Amino acid sequence: MSPSFTSIHVRERKLAIPERIFHSFLVSAIVVRNHGEPYLHRIHWDPIHPTLLFEVLFTIAAVLSSWRLFYFLQIIRRFGPLVISIGKCVKDILLFWVIFMVVLGSFAVGLNYLLEHYKYNKVIRDDKTIEQPFYMTRQVDSSCSIQSAMRYLYWAWYGYLDPERLEVIVGNCCPQNLETKHVIVQNAAEFLSAVYYMILVISLLNLMISIMATTAGTVLENRDMEWKYVRCQIWWEFFEDCRSLPPPFCLLQFLVHGFVFTLRKLRGDKKQRSAWDMNFVGREETPSEKERYLQNINTPLQQELIRTLKGRLLRHKVIQQMTNMEYFPIAGISVQLLNFRNAVCDEKDLSDQGPVVAVLYTQSLNGDTLRLWSYIFIPVLPPLHLWRRALSSDMEFDVIIDLLTLACAPPTVMFNALVLYIALRYVNLQQRLNQRFVVSMTVSDLLYGIVYMSTRMYNQFIPRWLCGPYYMTLWACQIGSVVFLLLLNIDKYISIRYPLQYPCIATKRTVTLQVAIVWLSIFLYCLLSFYCGAVHYDEDSLFECSVQVEPIFYILMLLLCYMAPLLSSISISIYIAWKVHQKPKHCQRTNRLRFNGAKTKRRMVKRIFFVFISTIWTTITFLPYRIGLSVFYLCQWYHMKEDAASHQLIVDEDNMCRTPATEIAISIFLCMLPLGAVGNPLVTIFTQNTYRLRALSIWSSIKQCNLFKRYAELRPANGSNQNWTAEKKRQRKSDDPMPPPPPPADGTLVTDKGAINLNAIYATV
């Protein structure tokens, strides 16, 4: 009986499915007949009716499908960076949304718990029945109270937070029907609402806006790099080995491949996975000729994309590898100069663009075209502390100094290189030890001309990493030139004052050690001075290599490294000249002794002439500017005051020791510095016989080379040179080309200016 009952039960279950389908059609027919409509009216639908769910999902899908257009707009260069920045900002919004939900949920729980005890309460006030507001509670279903509180607090974010909606209704009591008020609960609810508004709207909302602005700014600054990276990603998706189906079949593919992918993940089978994986093998099939051709085309590009994108390389490296282009970031100075150029073209108020831009624009409005165009064509922009001087001075001293320095750079380099060449080639430095000091002075002036004079107009544009070595070399050259001049004076004083002990004092080892110690000490001093706080970069300047020196340090450097050696040198030179000018006592007895004394005096004058002239010339061209700077920095240091906010010493701008007369004087003294660098090698050449004769010999060789070149051009090829001058004059009047002159028979070449004896020239050579 049991099997028959089981079989009957199975049959009944099989028949139940068609019966249910029939009943559903029957119910549908009855509904349509009663309502007279092919579809049931919405008022009879269930709250979670499938059609309602479909409409909601379709609406969301319609919005998202329209957003799909942004995916293709990323390929366009104009829309790509903007779409990428919007996508980055959306990520920030999603991250902020998590924090927002935490804050909103915490306040919703607190306010709901505080006001939930008063729901359904009513009070009679002014013959009116007032019910407890349901913004934080629900009157129908208590399970939805938290949802109601979160909904109210969410819309409060947009400005719908009304304190009256948080009123606490307790009710009426006593025979007099008085209204009961819980003030502490009311105040607590309003206080929590205010704190919620301050935290969420004032703090977090503004924080989100600032983060979005920063993200968008970062993307737009590197728009080209970001756009090329996203474009590479789109290319990668296009070439990716995947298999897809159009909707709605993609849902079936999603279910099948999702199940297979999960199953193979759990089993650990890495040989074959779903079609989403690039390593999917599938069935072994013999590819056709067309498939092999397409595979050969796509494989190199796919391999290049894999090598580039695999490992999550930096984005700029991806772009460099994919496009073979170098990415050059725009420096801050270029951006500011471009902004200045655009602002000048638009004729806007530049007072908020910074002091340098405002000064340039003011000069352009005032017709100060000389200085303005010099700044445009000759990119030299002084530091900020020199703009006041440039505006206050009537003469264009900055431009004059720059042009004069640049004009003096070639002769400085050429003459010092000539002196250095003669000293190393023809002067016996092993015997004439004092010439090593001359060589060191020449090297200092040569480096000064190469490093500073030729780059003074552009030293503000030197990168930050090269700024320190640049100024260290500049200071070392200036200090070295002065210090070696002092050593040369001391050497000359010892040789005259102690002639017998001089060979024992000035030995090769001593002089070489002195030169090495001086150079090492100078560079070590400049290194420690520059990198130990005495010099710092001017962060307010537009340029990377704009430095400011501490006044007290600059005063000490001027006094110890410049003024003290120069004053010592001029003192020693004057003392030596005074000693030489005095007549020896033994030369006053006889005429013979007087003659010998005069000869000795002339010889001594020749010995000290070079040192004396070099010291006088260096003092005249170098010392006034250093004295003026020392006085200026002393006055500036004297008028420094303490800042009340930062407790640091700052310069009092109202008490600056700067007048138009001092400005003109310092500018004139500054113009003398390049002249001094040009004059030092000339003094060496014209005051020392070795350098003078070798320079004349080099000059004569150059003239002879030019003469031989001219002779090679004028030399006849054949025949005689008689009457060649007259024939040359006749050919000038005619249009026929002049025949070459005949070769000279007796070695005499007849020209317009006379006869040239070539045999004598050959004998001289």
Residues 92 and 192 in one domain: yes
Structure tokens at 303: 């391999």
pTM: 0.44
Radius of gyration of the chain (CA): 48
In Å, what is the CA distance from 684 to each residue of 485, 575, 700? Answer: 12, 21, 19
Examine the domain organization and report whether 312 and 225 are in the same domain: no
Task: Output phi, psi for 329, to 5 deg.
Answer: -70, 145
Amino acid 422 reads: I
Position 147 in a domain: yes
- Count CA atoms within 13 Å of residue 101 on its CB side: 6
Residues 172 and 307 in one domain: no
Helices (H), 347-396: 355-365, 369-377, 387-392
225 plus 308 within the same structural domain: no
Q: What is the DSSP letter of 544?
A: T
Alpha carbons 325 and 302: distance in angstroms, whole number: 20
For residue range 205-263, list pLDDT tens digits in order: 888 888 888 888 888 888 888 888 888 888 877 776 566 667 677 777 777 777 877 87
739 within some domain: no
Q: Determine contact, residues 393/660, Cβ cutoff 8 Å.
A: yes
Domain count, the chain: 3
536 and 637 in a single domain? The answer is: yes
> Which candidate, 564, 536, 682, places its Cα nearest to that of 623?
564
Is the domain of 292 the same as that of 429?
no
Do 507 and 420 lie in a common domain? yes
Tokens describing residue 373 = 């165009």
Helix (H) or strand (E) holding 641, with range, is strand 640-642
Q: What are phi and psi of 651, to 5 degrees?
A: -85, 130
Domain boundary among 277, 296, 323: 323
Nearest-angstrom CA–CA distance, 212 and 217: 8
490 and 417 housed in the same domain: yes
Dump strand ranges (E) for 523-626: 535-537, 547-549
Could you read off the pLDDT of 13-67 as tens digits, one per residue?
A: 444 566 666 666 677 677 666 655 556 677 777 777 777 888 888 888 888 888 8
CA distance 467 to 450: 15
End-of-domain residue from the set 301, 323, 345: 323
Judge if 545 and 669 occupy the same domain: yes
**Residue 37: inside a domain:** yes
- Helix-strand-coil split of the chain, %, nearest 5: 70, 5, 25
487/497 Cα distance (integer angstroms): 15
Per the listing, tokens 């790509």 go with 80
Predicted pLDDT of residue 578: 82
How many angstroms separate the CA atoms of 116 and 110, rounded? 10
* Residue 359 falls inside a structural domain: no
Beta-carbon contacts of residue 208 (< 8 Å; ≥ 6 apart): 92, 93, 96
My answer on whether 559 and 499 are in the same domain is: yes
- Looking at the structure, tell me whether residues 290 and 220 fall in a common domain: no
Tell me, yes or no, whether 535 lies in a domain.
yes
Alpha carbons within 13 A on the beta-carbon side of 213: 6
The two tokens of residue 687 are 């005051």
State whether 52 and 148 are in the same domain: yes
The helix-helix angle for 369-377 and 397-425 (nearest 10°) equals 40
Q: Give CA–CA dist 398/434, Å, rounded.
A: 39
Q: Determine contact, residues 510/428, Cβ cutoff 8 Å.
A: no
Token pair for 80: 């790509």
* Domain hosting residue 306, numbered range: 286-323
Structure-token match 């709605």, residue found: 248
Q: Which residues of the chain have pLDDT under 50?
A: 1-15, 139-143, 272-278, 280-285, 297-298, 305, 308-395, 542, 585-595, 647, 715, 717-722, 724, 733-738, 765
Structure tokens at 619: 């003092």
Is position 138 within any domain? yes
Establish if 542 belongs to a structural domain: yes
Q: Specify whether the CB–CB gap between 467 and 545 falls below 8 A.
A: yes
The CATH code of the domain that includes 513 is 1.20.1070.10
Residue 658, pLDDT score: 60
Q: What is the reported pLDDT for 19?
A: 67
The two tokens of residue 605 are 């004058």
Within a domain: 406: yes
Q: Are 328 and 224 in contact (CB under 8 A)?
A: no
What's the one-letter identity of residue 71? Y
pLDDT score at 58 = 85
Among 708, 728, 748, residue at a domain's last position: 708
Peptide bond into 248 cis (omega under 30): yes
